[in-house]
Chain A
Amino acid sequence: MIKLLVWSFFIAVFLVSPFFGAVNLTLHDIFNSNSMSANIFYSLRLPRELFALLSGAILALSGLLFQTLFRNALMTPYTLGISSGAVLGAGVAIKLGVGVIVFGVSGVTVFGFAGALLSVFLLIYLAQFLKSSQHESILLLGIALSLFYTSALMILFYLGSSIQNDILIRFTMGSLSIVGWKSPVLLSVVTLFLFIIMYFYRYELQLLSISNESAQLKGVDTKKVTLILLVVSSLAIGVLVSISGPIGFVGLVVPHMVAKLYPSTVEKRLLKTALFGGLFLVFCDTISRVLQTQSELPIGIITALIGGPFFIYLIIHRTAK
């Protein structure tokens, strides 16, 4: 019953979402192809909704992936500093004023991706030196790296001109306001790629969700599989963050919500997690557009406002167990 309610609510929001925002639209408006409203609908609202859907899917899938690979409920690309690495990379591109590079992919995207990838490799490299194989230590390492990247970004901030800083600040808050179809199309390729790879390794993930040792004993090359999955998910996160900036809490919260709704093994939750994450972010984005504020609220604020209390609930629930 609760599942039906949640999904119907999300789908309803998904259907009406493009009609609401700074300018509210009607069905009549969008069929009048020459009107300003139709233009807003087709080149702003629809691509943005698709972009939000895909972003949510990437964040939720990556969260699920990290939580499974490291067998820890608090692991996400965000808590492990991968997002911050991507932000730093994108920040460097903004500071250097890197323009278009190849195939129309912007310098910010390339640098963001490189930042994400470098931070994953740095994390894996440093994790080798950990005396205990406890994943809590990796989490601490990730948090330390994350703080380090944020401080490096602050230094960029102090070195930048006021125009660059304006872009940087806006960027670090996270935003889904995009124009046109280029970003959603790029992101749909990335999302599909991430999903296919995770689906391909779904039973390896199921084994890894038990323990690294048990996966190895069943014949899984755990090092190879972990590396492939981490790199692919960092690619997705890097591309996403370089366009939208960091969006927290979706990766943390959504996999747990889906697991509560569908208590089943990880391989059965892949598609549901992707869909739920996507629709959840569309919902958050709709709120950010509908709230009457001076200017549009950054999406990160909404996800954190909803995700924060849930995060606290999760920590208390975990300690109570």
Chain B
Amino acid sequence: MMKIDKLSCSFVGKEILHDISLEIAEHITILGANGSGKSTLAKAICGLVEYEGNIEIDTHNVKYLTLKARAKLLTYIPAKLEVYDPYITVFEFVLLGRFVYKKSFFDYANRDKIIAKETLNLLGLAHLKEHSLSSLSSGEAQLVMIAQAIAQQSKIIIFDEPTANLDPKNTKIIAQRIKALKEYHKVVLITHDLHLARFINSPIAFIKEKKLLYFKEGFFKEENLQKLYDVTFDSMVVKYD
């Protein structure tokens, strides 16, 4: 259960979000135009940007949690995997998801290594185990980031435009993965992709002019979409099932 209370957020002196309040029981999909502040909202939840107001998760105020406690509670998956170190392998990267459970100074415990390995097996990535991250395709990279998030075992997983760089085939793979994750995690999905949002089937929060419009259902009605996006939609629907 996440409660956002009177959240305002600025970036380089410009106010992006103004006085937003929202209660999320389980999952949510956040939509909005480019630059409307979707990513900023996600980053505020993760504590990566400063904000006014409060964000509570299960009665914990996120502001006052230690970084480790926060990492156990939520994890964030960026749109694109960016890595400076060209040599880190897929397995090592997924293992980093276990960092928060590792004792300082010591190496990763066997249990952590087993979890990382099993997560790779689960997602069908075992064959990439020893590959370097820089050799992955965009679709594989997105799956590997999901694997790391699963290994981290945090309650909430935030996806920031997970399919922005993907072709329809890979989008389908990721879409199914995200839907499956809803069973064990609370999923916050930020996206532009209306087909994906419809497939994931969570309540919708639409950010418009620094404010938030909440739709438990009925978001995808044609007249509603026309009003929000100012374009005409025809009936084409991409199916990810």
Contacts and interface: CB of A to CB of B under 8 A. Distances in A.
A210 interface: yes
B87 A265 contact: yes
B146 interface: no
Interface in B5-63: 12, 46-48
Interface stretch (A200-208, A243-251, A297-305): A200-208
13 contacts: A68-B84, A206-B92, A206-B96, A209-B85, A210-B85, A210-B93, A211-B82, A216-B48, A218-B97, A219-B72, A219-B100, A221-B67, A265-B87
Contact of A220 (B67, B72, B88, B92): B67
A217 interface: yes
A317 interface: no
A218 B100 contact: yes
Nearest to B89: A265
Nearest to B152: A218
Interface of B: 12, 46-48, 66-68, 70-72, 75-76, 78, 82-89, 92-93, 96-97, 99-100, 102, 104-105, 108, 132, 152
B103 to A, nearest CB: 10
A168 B47 CA distance: 49
A198 to B, nearest CB: 12
B60 to A, nearest CB: 15
Contacts of A216: 47-48, 67
B83 to A, nearest CB: 5
Nearest to B99: A218
Contacts of A207: 96, 99
Interface in A181-209: 200, 203, 206-207, 209
A200 B100 CA distance: 15
A265 B92 contact: yes
A243 B202 CA distance: 65
Counting chain A CB atoms within 10 Å of each CB, which of B84, B86, B100, B108 scores highest?
Answer: B84
A217 B70 CA distance: 8
B81 to A, nearest CB: 9
B46 A217 contact: yes
Contacts of B132: 263
Contacts of B105: 200
B56 to A, nearest CB: 19
Contacts of A259: 87
A219 B68 contact: yes
A219 B84 contact: no
B83 A217 contact: no
B83 A211 contact: yes
A219 B83 contact: no
Contacts of B93: 210
A211 to B, nearest CB: 6
A28 interface: no
A219 B88 CA distance: 19
Contacts of B48: 213, 216-217
Q: Return the 9 tightest CB-CB contacts between A and B, nearest first.
A: A71-B84, A219-B71, A219-B68, A209-B85, A219-B100, A218-B99, A219-B67, A263-B87, A265-B88
